[in-house]
A and B are shown apart, each in its own frame.
Chain A
Amino acid sequence: MTDAAEALLRLEGVYANIGRYRILHGVDFAARRGRVTMLLGRNGAGKTTTLRTIMGLWKARLGKIIFDGQSIAAKETPHIARLGIAYVPENMGIFGKLTVRENMLLATGRSGFARQHLDRVLESFPALRVKWESPAGSLSGGQKQMLAIGRAIIEQRRLLLIDEPTKGLSPAMVDQLVAALLRLKREHTTILLVEQNFRVAEAVGDDVAVMDEGRIIHTGDMAALSTNHGLQHRLLGLSMADSL
């Protein structure tokens, strides 16, 4: 699927544990520059662990994680973030006691908000403008997800790691989120997206990597997977068919 030269992020034989339990068993895949790579798989396949390991929140026991030519497997999380990798966790990581503005401000550099980036975020997610000075804890689930993604793109980032952004959202909210992701895709933002909703994966994904039991069992084009129902069934099983 991927030429090494095109890969912005590459994982080679990554093993990771949570406590005594080994969750990742030699994960190999790459996320190409300017493309949206979908990381799919059943619950418990190791998708979230993969994102957290890339981010340095859990340490890789073995293997390489290469970001733009440099190894980041042993780096601390703040260092990885400062390389230009933004992370939107499954629980969104919103600071509920802080206002929407303060949540956003934390993701900006020392000089604060850059006008054009702020305009872009508020254009994509108008609800945030209305709630600008409200505590983030008072937002709805969908608004919190918008804030989480808005915070990730309030500065120019080189890679976005997004974990199940549509989980628990209403269909209307999912559509709004997909529109925002498509906009990021048009701007050639490199995204590694974990998603259980296959419809969303089809809509935004360029490339796909499928995980099972802590390993990558398939990589390829998202378009090819979305037209091959047999492969979908074999790789993703009934749980994915349910979300169709």
Chain B
Amino acid sequence: MSRDWLKQLQRWAPYALTPLVVVAALPAIGLGPWVTLTVAGLTMGIMLFMVASGLTLIFGLMDVLNFAHAAFVAVGAYVAVSVLRPLAGWTNEMSLTLNLAALFVALVSAAIASGALGFVFERVIIRQVYGAPLRQILITIGALTVIEQLIVALWGPQAIPLPKPAMLRGSVFIGSSSIETYRLFALCVGLAVAAAMHLFLTRTRLGLVVRAGVEDREMIQSLGYNIRRVFVGVFMAGTALAGMGGMMWGQYQAVVGSQIGDSMTILVFIILIIGGLGSVGGCFIAAILVGLTSNYVGFLAPKLALGSNILLMALILLWRPRGLFPIAEHH
């Protein structure tokens, strides 16, 4: 009986972790700033999820360590800059419809550009290094540098402003708590992307193949599915999501530089490890956890802010050495 209880506790504890952190932070921070920090943490987490989710599937499905993922974040952000520039009339108008239309066009363009580049990248670079982790690391780090330098050549070395649309500037107040309007928008977009991804993975045959492939690549091939073809699609989708994440992150920071993705890389890898390699659900929970922890610790103990996520990862790995929701048994 007690063993059953323990088993259930072990099963559900990873789900309870984030709510526990949120609740525990409340008395330490106080209600007003807690609301602001919680929304900020959720927003940061959801944007990190957009970037990390593709990477976890890419790794889970084919054991590919793509350190160039940050480059697709940058490509998405820069494409958004180029698309939004001629649409400045729409973004500066005090019309929510026009603002959202401009953002929608930019978001789709960022996704298409990053996804298309991802397709070429998989064909030309990744395909040559399947099953060779060391070569993957070297070649993808090299490709990251090349793409970032190409961005500098195309858009220039200076950081470029990426202003928020008129209706999404400023803040709204919930009680005494101030919440940036753009954060609420980013949260909605991120949640919509996460929901779409969840529906795709759980309600479609292709999603089922992806989930099964992450668990056991050989068996899914033995059932007649061409995992390489599936992987190309997942790689494209992953890079497209990174591009969308780049656009959102760039606008969140209001400025875009060629190394915008690099600043996210460490956090993204921490999320992958905490969530469990190959697990999209784990990635979601880990991203939210990292976003919240960063914001809470940044407020409570600013000196610890830099190391807080590494500490969080270390603690979780001590508790669950394969992450919160490990999937890919073959790694």
Interface residues, chain A, CB within 8 Å of chain B?
55, 57, 76-78, 81-82, 87, 89, 93, 95-98, 102-103, 105-107, 110, 151
Say whether B226 contacts A57, CB under 8 Å.
Answer: no
Q: CB-CB < 8 A to A78: which residues of B?
A: 221, 224-227
Which stretch in B40-48, B131-139, B151-159, B210-218 binds the other chain? B210-218
- A102 is contacted by which of B208, B216, B227 (Cβ under 8 Å)? B208
> B209: nearest residue on chain A (CB-CB)?
A106
CA of A151 to CA of B216, assembled, Å: 15
Say whether A106 contacts B216, CB under 8 Å.
Answer: no
Say whether A97 contacts B215, CB under 8 Å.
Answer: yes
Of the candidates B221, B222, B224, B226, the one having the most CB atoms from chain A within 10 angstroms of its own CB is B222
Does B23 sit at the interface, judged by CB under 8 A? no
Say whether B211 contacts A82, CB under 8 Å.
Answer: no
Say whether B226 contacts A98, CB under 8 Å.
Answer: no
CA of A81 to CA of B220, assembled, Å: 10
Say whether B223 contacts A81, CB under 8 Å.
Answer: yes
Q: CB-CB < 8 A to A81: which residues of B?
A: 221-224
Q: CB-CB < 8 A to B216: which residues of A?
A: 93, 95
Say whether B211 contacts A95, CB under 8 Å.
Answer: yes
Does B17 sit at the interface, judged by CB under 8 A? no
- B219 is contacted by which of A76, A89, A97, A102 (Cβ under 8 Å)? A89
Q: CB-CB < 8 A to B224: which residues of A?
A: 78, 81-82
Q: Would you give the shortest CB distance from B37 to chain A, in whole angstroms?
A: 33
Interface residues, chain B, CB within 8 Å of chain A?
205, 208-209, 211-212, 215-216, 218-227, 327, 329
> A112: nearest residue on chain B (CB-CB)?
B205
> A137: nearest residue on chain B (CB-CB)?
B215
Say whether B212 contacts A106, CB under 8 Å.
Answer: yes
Q: CB-CB < 8 A to A87: which residues of B?
A: 222
A selection of 12 A-B contacts at a CB cut-off of 8 Å is A76-B226, A81-B223, A89-B219, A95-B211, A95-B212, A95-B219, A96-B329, A97-B215, A98-B208, A102-B208, A106-B223, A110-B205
> B215: nearest residue on chain A (CB-CB)?
A95
Q: Which 3 A-B pairs have the closest CB atoms?
A: A93-B219, A81-B224, A77-B221
Q: CB-CB < 8 A to B222: which residues of A?
A: 55, 57, 77, 81, 87, 89, 93
Q: CB-CB < 8 A to A89: which residues of B?
A: 218-219, 222
Q: Would you give the shortest CB distance from B202 to chain A, in whole angstroms?
A: 9
CA of A78 to CA of B209, assembled, Å: 13
Q: CB-CB < 8 A to A96: which residues of B?
A: 215, 329
Instruction: Evaluate whether A98 and B211 lie within 8 angstroms (CB atoms) in the complex, with A78-B224, A107-B223 already known.
Output: yes
Q: Would you give the shortest CB distance from B326 to chain A, in whole angstroms?
A: 10
Say whether B220 contacts A106, CB under 8 Å.
Answer: yes
Say whether B219 contacts A98, CB under 8 Å.
Answer: no
Q: CB-CB < 8 A to A107: which residues of B?
A: 223
Say whether B211 contacts A97, CB under 8 Å.
Answer: yes
Of the candidates A81, A93, A95, A107, the one having the most CB atoms from chain B within 10 angstroms of its own CB is A95
CA of A220 to CA of B81, assembled, Å: 74
CA of A168 to CA of B329, assembled, Å: 21
Say whether B218 contacts A93, CB under 8 Å.
Answer: yes
- B218 is contacted by which of A57, A76, A97 (Cβ under 8 Å)? A57
Q: CB-CB < 8 A to A97: which residues of B?
A: 211, 215, 327
Of the candidates B211, B223, B327, the one having the most CB atoms from chain A within 10 angstroms of its own CB is B223
CA of A26 to CA of B258, assembled, Å: 57
Q: CB-CB < 8 A to B208: which residues of A?
A: 98, 102, 105-106
Say whether A98 contacts B215, CB under 8 Å.
Answer: yes
CA of A106 to CA of B207, assembled, Å: 11
Q: Would you give the shortest CB distance from A77 to chain B, in whole angstroms?
A: 4
Q: CB-CB < 8 A to A55: which residues of B?
A: 222
CA of A78 to CA of B225, assembled, Å: 5
CA of A102 to CA of B210, assembled, Å: 12
Q: CB-CB < 8 A to A151: which residues of B?
A: 223
CA of A97 to CA of B211, assembled, Å: 8
> A151: nearest residue on chain B (CB-CB)?
B223
Q: Would you give the shortest CB distance from B182 to chain A, in whole angstroms?
A: 36
